[in-house]
Amino acid sequence: MLISMYPKDEVPYAESYLKVINNEKKNYRIIYWNRSETKDNKFLDKEIYFNLRCPNGGSKIKKIFKIFSYARFIRKELKKPIYDKVVVLTTVPGILLWIGYT
Mind giving me the DSSP string for 1-28?
-EE-SS-GGG-TTHHHHHHHHHHTT---
Which ranges of the chain have pLDDT less than 70?
38-44, 100-102
Give the rounded percent of residues in the chain with a pLDDT score beyond 70: 89
Structural domain total, the chain? 1
| Residue 89 near residue 14, CB atoms below 8 Å | yes
Q: What's this model's pTM, rounded to 2 decimal places?
A: 0.79
For 11, the domain range is 2-101
